[in-house]
């Protein structure tokens, strides 16, 4: 039986001629795009035509073809993968790109088109959906895809059997089956208008769009700088011979406008503005309690709340998981300073740094309802921990990286060492994905920023997965959504990075706070700073809301989908808040998500 070289991770797009999948090379771990061109809709002669174009075009701003894949179910074109989604995704996002970033993307499109035109190829379907994005430090690069209806300039007078393409971006002559290099430049002019103004110059049904492109004058708002207005006006002229004479001419005009407007500095901001965080006046506080000391760590499992207070572990057991009523309370001393606290189905785990040596202790505490106490059952002392993951979902194992740069596994709850060890970089970061898998992440900032993701199994097997051309830190996986990771980008600005693994999609999110707490939930992520600002992000990275409190936040933990524990410290008063976020989130979650996660 034939076995494909690639494992499909998910569907990323579907067009009139077929589907596009995200896939991973089974041997190298490289992420690729597999374009499935259905034989009925895309016959062999058209398939060979697109392949010939792709093999002819080799340019940094054109999605490249790396091979062909045939199997029982069909044929695939193997292409470069662009993890940043499409330009349409970026246009539709909540945040407004800076003018410099918009012009950079248009320059990329024109650079790719200039190469295609130099090979006598007209794309014929330039639109935001066909412009794919890759991340680079604090920015994106744009890449032209889908040459499925591209034509050669020598075919300019051939009969095409009617127009094909996207009416919103089609030049007037395209509606009569004609095409030229200037037709592509007209489409770029529409994209430039949409990026700058926020909407397309013409809208409506296909017939209405055709009439508008053929006869209506484009109205350019006077808020657009004159240099850019003149570029749009020239690109969108009705007669192709009156537009830019070449792609290089339009590219030169865009670059000149960018330089003249003062955007030749690499420090220009990525986004123009950020939404503000509302205050906590509408926050639904279920109840609050005073604390005798500052709480540095919180963990919850059903009706049990664990609080890390300096060198003590406190346990509160409530009548049920609603955490209402008077709890039973116990506390036990800890040997060393607490650096990590995990809840577990039978108790909790602590990680402490020894005050007398360079080691760390991992301790397992089991709760006993009958005895009315919590007691230490197991303890393992290791060299000082550099990175420690969250417990694997299901609580069967724990992985950590010691200062000796070795990755080790412990079975839970007995803290039994697994006889395997893997050498890691001292800067390696570690997250767990599900009960069987985790991921080692290595970021490099020197010379060329890069972050490498390596998949690992609980048996210690490694599999090189993918890399990004940016440096990341503070990675946190979402235990409720195992294929989702949130991270912060190494940048002068505060930028969040949301990574969906299946299929791979990376979304950059500008943040107005540098989060000290990152908590995953079925609806997305909660981000909070110690200064009291909290942001709520949906599963696609959209901002669902937030709030701000006056106190310093010292610890946070969820005890169900919408209910949050928040420990604070304000003017020597320590408090523990029980907060209900359901009213703040519920409507927005269901409006913004088609996910079945919250059913």
Distance between CA atoms of 130 and 109, rounded to whole angstroms?
10
Give how far Cα 578 sits from Cα of 118, 284, 310, 527, 559, Å: 64, 9, 21, 17, 9
Phi, psi of 240 (to 5 degrees): -60, -35
User: What's residue 599's pLDDT?
Assistant: 25
Residues in the chain predicted with pLDDT less than 70, given as ranges, are 1-3, 15-17, 38-43, 73, 154-163, 263-281, 368-374, 376, 386-390, 421, 426, 446, 587-599
Domain boundaries, the chain: 6-80, 87-260, 280-592
Sheet of 429-432, strands arranged across? 429-432, 437-444, 450-457, 462-468
Q: Which CATH class is domain 6-80?
A: alpha beta
Q: Token pair of 200, please?
A: 């397309």
**Cα 29 to Cα 463: distance, rounded to the nearest angstrom:** 7
For position 400, what pLDDT does the model report? 84
In the 3-class helix/strand/coil scheme, how is 257-276 assigned residue by residue? Answer: HHHHCCCCCCCCCCECCCCC
- Minimal CA–CA distance to 485: which of 464, 460, 468? 468
- What does the pLDDT read at residue 595? 39
DSSP result, 62-131: BPPEEEEEEETTEEEEEEE--TT-BHHHHHHSSSPBPHHHHHHHHHHHHHHHHHHHHTTEE-S---GGGE
35 is in an annotated binding site: yes
The candidate with the shortest Cα–Cα distance to 503, out of 1, 110, 13, is 13
Helices 226-235 + 181-197 axis angle, to 10:
140
Q: How high is the pLDDT of residue 11?
A: 94
* CA-based R_g, the chain, Å: 28
b/e per residue 407-426 (b: at least 16 CB within 10 A): bbbbebbebeeeeeebebee
Distance CA 483, CA 239 (A): 50
Q: Calculate ∠ Cα 210-196-134, nearest 5°.
A: 100
pTM over cut 0.75: yes
User: What are the pLDDT digits (tens) for 365-375?
Assistant: 887 655 556 67
Asked whether this chain's domains 6-80 and 87-260 adopt the same fold, the reply is no
Report whether CATH 2.130.10.10 matches the domain 280-592: yes
- Please report where in the chains the tokens 């919850």 appear, as a residue: 300
Fold of 87-260: Transferase(Phosphotransferase); domain 1 (1.10.510)
Phi, psi of 186 (to 5 degrees): -60, -45
């Amino acid at each position: 039986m034939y076995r494909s070289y690639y494992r499909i991770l998910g569907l990323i797009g579907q067009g009139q001629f077929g589907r596009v999948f995200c896939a991973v090379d089974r041997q190298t771990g490289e992420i690729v795009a597999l374009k499935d061109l259905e034989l009925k809709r895309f016959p062999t002669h058209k398939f060979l035509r697109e392949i010939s174009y792709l093999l002819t075009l080799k340019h940094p701003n054109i999605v490249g073809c790396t091979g062909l894949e045939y199997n029982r179910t069909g044929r695939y074109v193997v292409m470069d993968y662009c993890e940043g989604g499409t330009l349409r995704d970026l246009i539709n996002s909540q945040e407004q790109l800076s003018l410099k970033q918009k012009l950079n993307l248009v320059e990329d499109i024109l650079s790719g088109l200039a190469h295609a035109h130099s090979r006598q190829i007209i794309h014929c379907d330039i639109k935001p959906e066909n412009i794919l994005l890759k991340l680079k430090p604090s920015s994106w690069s744009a890449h032209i895809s889908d040459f499925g209806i591209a034509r050669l300039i020598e075919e300019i007078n051939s009969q095409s059997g009617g127009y094909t393409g996207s009416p919103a971006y089609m030049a007037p002559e395209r509606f009569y089956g004609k095409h030229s290099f200037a037709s592509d430049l007209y489409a770029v002019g529409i994209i430039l208008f949409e990026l700058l103004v926020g909407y397309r110059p013409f809208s409506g049904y296909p017939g209405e769009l055709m009439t508008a492109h053929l006869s209506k004058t484009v109205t350019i708002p006077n808020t657009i700088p004159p240099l850019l207005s003149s570029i749009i006006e020239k690109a969108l002229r009705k007669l192709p011979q009156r537009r830019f004479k070449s792609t290089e001419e339009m590219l030169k005009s865009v670059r000149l406008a960018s330089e003249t407007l003062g955007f030749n500095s690499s420090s220009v901001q990525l986004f123009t503005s950020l939404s503000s965080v509302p205050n906590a006046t509408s926050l639904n506080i279920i109840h609050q309690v005073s604390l005798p000391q500052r709480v540095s760590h919180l963990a919850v499992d059903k009706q049990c709340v664990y609080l890390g207070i300096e060198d003590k572990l406190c346990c509160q057991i409530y009548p049920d998981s609603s955490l209402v009523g008077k709890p039973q309370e116990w506390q036990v001393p800890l040997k060393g300073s607490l650096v990590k606290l995990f809840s577990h189905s039978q108790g909790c785990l602590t990680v402490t740094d020894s005050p007398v040596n360079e080691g760390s202790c991992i301790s397992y505490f089991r709760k006993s309802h009958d005895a009315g106490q919590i007691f230490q059952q197991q303890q393992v002392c290791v060299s000082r921990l550099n990175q420690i993951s969250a417990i694997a979902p299901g609580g069967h194992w724990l992985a950590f990286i010691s200062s000796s740069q070795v990755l080790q596994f412990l079975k839970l709850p007995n803290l039994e060492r697994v006889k395997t060890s893997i050498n890691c970089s001292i800067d390696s970061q570690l997250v767990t994905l599900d009960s069987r898998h985790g991921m080692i992440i290595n970021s490099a900032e020197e010379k060329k920023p890069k972050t490498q993701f390596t998949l690992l199994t609980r048996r210690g097997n490694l599999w090189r997965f993918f890399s990004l051309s940016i440096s990341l830190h503070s990675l946190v996986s979402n235990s409720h959504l195992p294929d989702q990771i949130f991270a912060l980008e190494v940048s002068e600005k505060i930028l969040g990075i949301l990574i969906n693994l299946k299929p791979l999609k990376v979304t950059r999110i500008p943040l107005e706070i540098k989060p000290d707490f990152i908590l995953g939930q079925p609806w997305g992520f909660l981000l909070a700073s110690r200064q009291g600002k909290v942001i709520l992000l949906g599963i696609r990275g959209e901002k669902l809301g937030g709030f701000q409190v006056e106190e310093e936040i010292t610890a946070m933990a969820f005890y169900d989908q919408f209910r949050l524990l928040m420990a604070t410290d304000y003017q020597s008063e320590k408090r523990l808040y029980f907060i209900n976020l359901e009213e703040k989130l519920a409507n927005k979650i269901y409006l913004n998500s088609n996910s079945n996660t919250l059913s």
